[in-house]
Structure 1
Amino acid sequence: MDAPQPTSRSGGVVATLALAGTTAAIMQTLVTPLLADLPKILNTSASNATWVITTTLLVAAVCVPVVGRLGDLLGKRRMLLVCSVPLIAGSVVCALSSSVLPMIIGRGLQGMGMGMVPLGIALLRDVVPTEKLSSSIALVSASMGIGGGLGLPIAAAVAQYANWRVLFWGSAVLATVIALLIWFLIPTVPAGAKGQRFDAIGAFTLGAGLVALLLAISKGGDWGWSSGTTLGLFVASVVLLVGWGVWELRTTDPLVDLRTTARPRVLLTNIASIFVGFAMYASMLVMPQLLQFPEATGYGLGQSILASGLWMAPGGVMMMIVSPFGGKLTNAYGPKLTLLSGVLVIAAGYGLSLALMGSAWGIMLAIMVINSGVGLAYGSMPALIMSSVPLSETAAANSFNALMRSLGTSVGAAVIGVVLSQMTTDIGGFSITSESGFRTGLIIGCAVALVSAAIAAVIPAVRNIAGATDRTHLVAESEKSTVQA
């Protein structure tokens, strides 16, 4: 099979895919400013309202690897368009909701569209010229962080000064614009794994295992970590995921080729991705709370939701600024060095936050440093992955890597959540997170970033993505021909 040729419209392609990634990330942070008001808005309990966020996480975890594999089988452009449909429909359902059940359904539909980012990154390898590939991957990969950083203050402003339904009508319009841009600007390229069959058993087993695992992680704090429900879910996830692994090794056309993911570069990159996701999300949990805690505590900064979002916004802008430099660094020295540099910058940002957490300006500066590191790290990981897999597996491999990042953020949310809820102090008869609790959360974030750096340091190096991907594809095709002979 001939490799797809780069298109002359690569600038429009990259801009469209970056905007799609940013939109997907905004969908995830859209309801954050509404969390305190959701029980009243939806006439439900606080515990039921948390499902508005949890559902998006669970559905995305199930759909991302499935959509990635379907992108390899049916074509990435086609699946990008498919992903836009539930994004639009989910936004409309949420905008029309007046109770918790339709809101949860709408948020679940939005979660189905989260496969856009790994699909887009994989598509870049098919349509972007070699000299622009690394920088394009860096920008599209960082778009998830950019959307998260910019989405929070935008959503907070809309929630404060307009009706909350405007958030979802706006997201519906944005998703529609993305669908139109994909239709008109994204070229059709041959499916890399056309003719292979879809692994339905593997998809179901992986989905069930991920739901059990992420449900236990995300709700364990509410249900109790030693409760029968939480422990049962953890046991079920282990059984299902081990069974999935056995099946994937035995089936002819697996959902995820575990032999490919076992290659040292792919395996270590995916492990590092978990820790990077953890390190990124730790700051997103700690910093807004520090900004919003009352000044009477002695360590809180007394900012409103909107103001805290605005203090955090420059971090998202830094990802946008840094990502092109990450691409140039990858071209010059390889994606391994970019990843290592990124996680060390994240660790430095956490160190800075410990020294400057007493002021809003200090927190803003620390977030800018942390997110600069996230931008470098997120941009390098897909380059490492795609330098190690054949063309027929790029979408599936990138989706699996995105899943590892999401797993890291889920674990990070659970761990930091436990720390902040357990390390408390009593003020005015209320139990709130203590200053030492926030400091401990920041120290954990720094330590996790350093663990990721240690893992990144032992990843086998590759000079640049373009040459390596070509070589990998040739080797894979050679191996395939040998097996068929």
Structure 2
Amino acid sequence: MAARRRGALIGPVLVLATLVSSIISSFGAPLIPTVARDFHASLSTAQWSLTVALLVGAASSPVLGRLGDGPRRRVTLLGGLAVVTAGGAVAALAGDLGTLLVGRGLQGVGLGLAPLAMATARDELPPAKVAPMIALLSVSAGAGLGAGYPISGLLAEAWGLAGAYWFGAIVSGLALVCVAVVVPSSAGRGTPERLDYVGAVLLASALVTALVAVAEGTQWGWGSPTIIGLLAAGAVLFAVWAVQQLRTGNPLVQLRLLRHPSVLSADACAMVLGVAMYMVLSGATEFVQSPRSGGFGFSASAVVAGLVLIPLSFFMLISSRTLPTLVKRVGIRAVLALGCLVAALGCAFFAVFHDALWQTFVMTGVLGVGLGTTFAAIPGVIVRAIPARETGSAMGFYQVVRFTGFSLGSALAATVLAAHVGGDGRPTVGGYTMVLWISAGFCVTAAAVAWFLPARSAQRDRGANSEGTGGFRRRATRGAPGSPAARSR
């Protein structure tokens, strides 16, 4: 009875760990002015309290995913949560900006835990529950990023900067305890694979080089030799990493999986949507805080700007629950395309109608429906196309793709707004509407990527739909090391 009860709690605990880690890692945007004030730094320097977490999350995702493939999954999951908890304490106790950035970097490790949670769900849950849980975990990771904005703003207003980070340390510690109690040991399930340290270093170097250029492009100038040099170095490092991954016997990421059209299309769609999502997050939160004296905006506080994103997170979670029904009725390809188009509709709505604060809430709600559906569907497309033993690695790469899109979206929004500045030095309403229209265009592009899949992928989807949504879940989990199906034989 106790084992059955613990098994029923695995899913909720994995969602808790993923959601908490994503929320804590996204602490930053509403806190940037407070960080700048408390540590006597410029806003651009304080921005690194958000950027460093994103950088660490992008670099740690494939490493944690590979470490979690096999018997070390539970240990890796616990270790990641322990690092996030320690990061919250370091950030809360920080006496200078450098120490704060160290703590925020440790918290960013939490962004790499979603692939481990997905791989755990694939092994530990009954076949009928695998696909819905993986979808929910994917959406929880995305919704948590949006929820971190209002939560961090409210906490900082109530308890100050240190109070917000102490809260993060406490809740991540609780998630650590829950995982330790509920998630069973993965020891004995296969042999541990050797970590590709060379690949990890190359990938981290490429990501840091490229994303630093993206993050500082507006500040240093996109045409400056430094930015051009960093972008060129990042491209070279990515190329070297790709060659190294294809040649090594035990790669960090199985890039050959990208030869599968469904995997390639899913990752491409995720990156494009990530760009659109963070363009909207950056543009909308700044728009509502713009003073009404400029002829637009709502003179809102940082807390209100964060609350505007509540519908985004809420509807991302709610819409993900409709995925099995939608896939059964229209197929995964149509679900992905329609979700992208709904997100585009939300962006276009606010680009046209932005005279009242309630319209911002409508926009983020519609965006949440579209993104929730697509981000829930994409992992399922990847998971059913790959061997079970590669789930952690593939999901880790998927997270890298998403985080890269997030970073590009944030930087692109800043670039567009900087190019549309009025006489008072503030972005004009034309700049904000341009951000929204570009975001809508990216969403339409993602819809095209999702729809124009090769014919064999569409045929494979129709075959899965003819069996119901449980069909591909049974094939995905059958024979997977440590899966319930494998253990029952």
Q: Do Structure 1 and Structure 2 share a fold, with TM-score over 0.5?
A: yes
Residue 428 (structure 2) aligns with: 434
- Would you say 1:453 and 2:447 are equivalent positions? yes
SS in 1 for 2:193: coil
AA aligned to 2:449 is I
Q: Distance in 1 between matches of 2:318 and 2:309?
A: 15
CA root-mean-square deviation: 2.2
1:112-141 superposed Cα distances (whole Å, 9 cap, x missing partner): 222111211222111222222232122211
**Which residue does the alignment assign to 1:131?**
128
Q: Secondary structure at the match of 1:255?
A: coil
Which residues in structure 2 correspond to 1:27-66 (within 5 Å)?
Answer: 27-66=24-63
Q: Does the 8 A contact of 2:90 with 2:99 survive in 1? A: yes
CA contact (8 A) 2:35 2:161 kept: no
Cα distance in structure 1, aligned partners of 2:13 and 2:394 = 21
List aligned pairs for 1:102-117, cutoff 5 A.
102-117=99-114
Equivalences, count: 469
The one-letter code matched in structure 2 to 1:262 is R
**What is the 5 A alignment of 1:233-382?**
233-382=230-379
Q: Does 1:71 align with 2:65?
A: no
- The amino acid of 1:127's aligned partner reads E
- Relative to structure 1, the CA distance from residue 435 to residue 416 in structure 2 (aligned partners, 3 Å threshold; closer, same or farther) is same
Partner of 1:480: none
Map of 1:178-197 to 2, 5 A cutoff?
178-189=175-186, 194-197=191-194
Indicate the SS of the match to 2:321: helix
- Provide Cα deviations, 1:12-69, integer angstroms capped at 9, x if missing partner: 2221121222212212332222211222212334443222222112211111111101
* 2:212 is the counterpart of 1:218: no
State the alpha-carbon separation in 1 of the partners of residues 331 and 118 from structure 2. 17
Residues 45 and 432 of structure 1, relative CA distance in 2, 3 Å threshold: closer
Letter paired with 1:400 = F
Classify the secondary structure of the residue corresponding to 2:425.
Answer: strand
Which amino acid is 2:444 matched to? L
The verdict on how the C-alpha distance between 1:147 and 1:394 changes in structure 2, with shifts beyond 3 A counting, is same
Contact 1:335/1:383 (8 A) holds in 2 = no
Q: Secondary structure of the equivalent of 2:253?
A: coil
SS at match of 2:426: strand
The 1:42–1:200 alpha-carbon spacing in structure 2 relative to 1, beyond 3 Å, is same
Q: Secondary structure of the equivalent of 1:425? A: coil
Q: Check the 8 A contact 1:138/1:375 in 2, yes or no.
A: no
- Which secondary structure state, in structure 1, belongs to the residue aligned with residue 319 of structure 2? helix
Cα shift readout 1:187-221 (whole Å, capped 9, x = no counterpart): 23467762432211111111111111111111121
The answer to whether the 8 A contact 2:139-2:372 is kept is yes
Equivalent AA in structure 2 for residue 248 of structure 1: Q
Does the 8 Å CA contact 1:91/1:168 hold for their aligned counterparts? Answer: yes
User: Does the CA-based 8 Å contact 2:127-2:473 persist in structure 1?
Assistant: no
**Alpha-carbon distance in 1 for matches of 2:299, 2:30:** 16
Distance 1:190 1:272, change over 3 A: farther
Q: 1:64 is aligned with what amino acid? A: S
Amino acid in the other structure paired with 1:443: W
- Residues 123, 480 of structure 2: 8 Å contact kept: no
State the distance in 2 between where 1:152 and 1:433 align.
21
Name the structure 2 match of 1:387: 384
* More divergent stretch after superposition (345-354 vs 172-181): 345-354
Contact 2:33/2:46 (<8 A) preserved: no
Query: Would you identify which runs of 4 or more consecutive aligned residues in structure 1 move more than 6 Å?
Result: 472-477
Change beyond 3 A, Cα 1:275–1:10: farther
CA contact (8 A) 1:94 1:103 kept: yes
Bigger shift: residues 88-97 or 455-464? 455-464
Q: Select which of 147, 152, 160 maps to 2:149.
A: 152
CA deviations over 1:446-483 (Å, ceiling 9, x no partner): 00000000000023232267544665688999xxxxxx
Q: Deviations over 1:71-107 (max 9, x none)?
A: 1144322211010111011100010012111101101
2:16 is the alignment partner of 1:19: yes
Which AA in structure 2 matches 1:375? G
Q: Check 1:191–1:253 CA distance in 2 against 1; reply closer, same or farther (3 A cut).
A: farther
Whole-angstrom CA distance in 2 between matches of 1:390 and 1:412: 32
Residue identity in the other structure for 1:457: W
Q: Which residue of 1 aligns with 2:487?
A: none
Which amino acid counterpart does residue 431 of structure 1 have in structure 2?
G
Match of 1:143 in 2: 140
Seen in structure 2, the aligned counterparts of structure 1 residues 198 and 77 have a Cα distance that, compared at 3 Å, is same
Structure 1 residue 183 displacement after superposition: 0.6
Kept in 1: contact 2:34–2:161 (CA 8 A): no
Unaligned 5+ runs, structure 2: 482-489
The amino acid across from 2:443 in the alignment is: A
CA separation of 1:192 and 1:467: change in aligned 2, threshold 3 A: farther
What displacement does 1:144 show?
2.1
Instruction: Give how far 1:346 is off.
Output: 0.4
What SS does the corresponding residue of 1:431 show, helix, strand or coil? coil
What do the CA deviations read for 1:329-365 (whole angstroms, capped 9, x no partner)? 2355443333222111101111221232111111101
How far apart are the structure 2 equivalents of 1:19 and 1:330? 25
- TM-aligned CA deviation for residue 164 of structure 1: 1.9
Q: Secondary structure at the match of 2:422?
A: strand
Q: Distance in 1 between matches of 2:403 and 2:343?
A: 18
TM-score by length of 1: 0.91
TM-score, structure 2 normalization: 0.91
